[in-house]
C-alpha cells in the first residue's frame, strides 16, 4: 500500500508589511490594544494588482524546489485551499497549475475557510494512498486584505495575506514525513458566524441589491473564539486516538494561527505546555488557509522541528469547519 509522505515545503508573503502602528493611523486603535487581544504585531497585505493566484504560484514553486522537483509535470494533482479566489468562476487552481507547468494535472479549489489546508491535505493524501497519483501539491493561499471592510477595525487588524505549500508523494509506512491520520468535521448551523453576505447565489437570487458592507468579511468574534477552542481541542483528541498517540507523544502543536489566546487555550485543553505550540501570528497575522503551512515553514526554517518528531496540526474555520492531522516530520528544507 502506498503512503502519503511530506516531501517539500514552501512559503511566500507579499511585499507590503503592515504594522500595528500603521493601522492605528487608520482606525481608533493602538499597538497595545491589538497585541493584547490578538498577539499580532504585524501582517502582510498584497499590493494592488497582486492576487491569491499570484501568491499561490510563488509558494507552489518554492515547495517544488524544496522537494527537488525541477519538472512540475511530475505532479499529478494540485489543490488550492482559499477563501479569496481570483474569481468566483473559474477556480484558481487550474491557472496556478498551468503557471507552474503541471501539464494536465487535476486541479481544483477547496473552500473550507481557515480549515481549508487540512481539508486539502487529507484529500491529497487519500489520492496518493488510493494509487490515483504519485505526487500532489497542496497550497493554502489568501489575500484577505481584498475582503476586509475599511470600516471594520475588528477584522482589519487580524487578517493578513500569504501562501504556503507542501508537496506530498508516495513513500514507505515507516518513513519520516508520513501523514498518519486525519479528523474532519463541520456544523452548518453556525454558517452565519463567519461569512461574506453578498456575492453568492443566496444574495443574488433575492433580487435585492447588496448593501455596501455586505461584500466584506464578517465574524462574530466572541462566539467564534469559543467554538474554535472546543472544536480544535476535540478534533485533536480524536486524531490522536485514531493514530494511537497521547498528548505526551506530540512534540509540536501547529494550530491555525487565528489568535494567540486561542492557540494557548487549545494547548492547555490538550495538556501541552505553551512551548510546544508553534506560533508566528505575531509576524503574519491570521492568514486563514495559508496559516498552517506558513507556520510550518517558519518553524522549520528556525530549526524547531527534528526529523521523526511527531506533529499535530489543527484548524477551525467558517462553515463551520474544523480538522486535524497527525504526521511525523521529514528531513526537508523549506524554501
In three state form, how does the secondary structure of 174-204 look?
A: CCCCEEEEEEEEECHHHHHHEECCCCCHHHH
Contact 174, 324 (CB under 8 A): no
> Which candidate, 152, 176, 324, 195, places its Cα nearest to that of 247?
324
Contact 156, 95 (CB under 8 A): no
Choose, from 12, 170, 256, 259, the residue flagged as catalytic.
Answer: 256
pLDDT over 90 for what percent of the chain?
A: 90
Query: CA 300, 306, 311 angle in degrees (round to 5)?
Result: 80
Grade residue 153 by pLDDT with cuts at 50, 70 and 90.
confident
Q: What is the mean pLDDT of residues 75-94?
A: 97
pLDDT at position 71 over 80 = no
Cell numbers linked to 254: 501547529
Catalytic annotation present for 12 = no
Contact 60, 165 (CB under 8 A): yes
Q: What is the mean pLDDT of residues 65-84?
A: 93
Contact 159, 148 (CB under 8 A): yes
* CA distances (Å), origin 42, targets 15, 66, 278: 13, 27, 17
Q: What is the mean pLDDT of residues 297-309?
A: 97
pLDDT at 80: 98
Q: What is the mean pLDDT of residues 65-77?
A: 90
pLDDT at position 211 over 90 = no
Give dist(CA 227, CA 249) in Å, integer: 25
Q: What is the mean pLDDT of residues 227-250?
A: 97
The predicted-structure confidence for 121-150, as pLDDT tens digits, reads as follows: 999 999 999 999 999 999 999 999 999 999
Q: Which residues make Cβ contacts (< 8 Å) with residue 34, sequence separation at least 6? A: 20, 23, 40, 41, 157
Catalytic annotation present for 256 = yes
The label of the residue with cell 433580487 reads 207
pLDDT at 302: 96
Q: What is the mean pLDDT of residues 170-198?
A: 95
Q: Taking the CB of residue 237, how many other CB atoms lie within 10 A of it?
A: 18
pLDDT at 25: 92
> Which candidate, 289, 236, 241, places its Cα nearest to that of 263?
236
pLDDT at 72: 76
The label of the residue with cell 528544507 reads 333
Taking 3-state DSSP, the helix, strand and coil percentages for the chain, each rounded to the nearest 5, stand at: 40, 25, 35
Which has the minimum average pLDDT: 93-107, 190-204, 312-326? 190-204
Contact 147, 196 (CB under 8 A): yes
Sign of CA dihedral 211, 213, 214, 220: negative
pLDDT at 127: 98
pLDDT at position 70 over 90 = no
331 burial class (0-12, 13-18, 19+ CB within 10 angstroms)?
A: exposed
> Which candidate, 225, 276, 212, places its Cα nearest to that of 248?
276
Give dist(CA 116, CA 106) in Å, integer: 18
Q: What is the mean pLDDT of residues 72-90?
A: 95
Contact 173, 3 (CB under 8 A): yes
pLDDT at 28: 84
Catalytic annotation present for 286 = yes
Q: What is the mean pLDDT of residues 202-230?
A: 91
The predicted-structure confidence for 113-123, as pLDDT tens digits, reads as follows: 999 999 999 99
Grade residue 48 by pLDDT with cuts at 50, 70 and 90.
very high
Cell numbers linked to 8: 517539500
Choose, from 12, 114, 227, 252, the residue flagged as catalytic.
Answer: 114
pLDDT at 213: 87
pLDDT at 159: 97
Q: What is the mean pLDDT of the chain?
A: 95
The predicted-structure confidence for 2-37, as pLDDT tens digits, reads as follows: 899 999 999 999 999 999 999 999 888 899 989 998
pLDDT at position 279 over 90 = yes
pTM for this one?
0.96
Which has the minimum average pLDDT: 91-95, 147-151, 182-186? 147-151
Grade residue 259 by pLDDT with cuts at 50, 70 and 90.
very high
Amino acid at each position: 500500500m502506498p503512503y502519503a509522505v511530506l516531501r517539500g515545503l514552501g512559503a511566500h508573503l507579499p511585499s507590503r508589511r503592515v504594522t500595528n502602528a500603521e493601522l492605528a493611523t487608520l482606525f481608533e486603535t493602538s499597538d497595545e490594544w491589538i497585541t493584547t487581544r490578538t498577539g499580532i504585531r504585524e501582517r502582510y497585505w498584497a499590493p494592488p494588482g497582486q492576487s491569491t493566484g499570484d501568491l499561490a504560484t510563488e509558494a507552489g514553486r518554492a515547495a517544488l524546489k524544496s522537494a527537488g522537483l525541477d519538472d512540475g509535470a511530475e505532479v499529478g494533482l494540485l489543490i488550492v485551499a482559499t477563501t479569496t479566489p481570483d474569481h468566483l468562476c473559474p477556480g484558481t487552481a487550474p491557472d496556478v497549475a498551468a503557471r507552474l507547468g503541471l501539464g494536465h494535472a487535476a486541479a481544483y479549489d477547496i473552500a473550507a475557510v481557515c480549515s481549508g489546508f487540512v481539508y486539502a491535505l487529507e484529500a491529497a493524501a487519500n489520492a496518493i494512498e488510493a494509487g490515483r497519483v504519485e505526487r500532489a501539491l497542496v497550497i493554502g493561499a489568501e489575500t484577505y486584505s481584498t475582503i476586509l471592510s475599511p470600516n471594520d477595525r475588528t477584522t482589519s487588524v487580524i487578517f493578513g495575506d500569504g501562501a504556503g505549500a507542501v508537496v506530498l508523494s508516495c513513500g514507505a509506512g515507516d518513513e519520516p514525513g508520513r501523514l498518519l491520520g486525519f479528523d474532519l468535521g463541520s456544523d452548518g448551523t453556525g454558517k452565519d458566524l463567519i461569512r461574506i453576505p453578498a456575492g453568492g447565489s443566496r444574495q443574488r437570487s433575492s433580487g435585492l441589491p447588496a448593501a455596501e458592507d455586505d461584500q466584506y468579511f464578517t465574524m462574530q468574534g466572541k462566539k467564534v473564539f469559543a467554538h474554535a477552542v472546543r472544536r480544535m481541542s476535540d478534533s485533536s483528541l480524536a486524531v490522536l486516538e485514531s493514530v494511537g498517540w497521547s498528548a505526551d507523544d506530540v512534540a509540536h502543536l501547529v494550530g491555525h494561527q487565528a489568535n494567540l489566546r486561542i492557540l494557548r487555550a487549545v494547548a492547555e485543553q490538550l495538556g501541552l505546555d505553551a512551548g510546544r505550540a508553534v506560533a508566528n501570528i505575531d509576524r503574519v497575522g491570521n492568514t486563514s488557509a495559508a496559516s498552517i503551512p506558513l507556520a510550518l515553514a517558519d518553524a522549520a526554517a528556525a530549526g524547531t522541528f527534528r526529523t521523526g518528531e511527531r506533529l499535530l496540526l489543527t484548524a477551525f474555520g467558517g462553515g463551520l469547519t474544523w480538522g486535524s492531522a497527525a504526521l511525523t516530520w521529514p528531513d526537508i528544507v523549506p524554501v
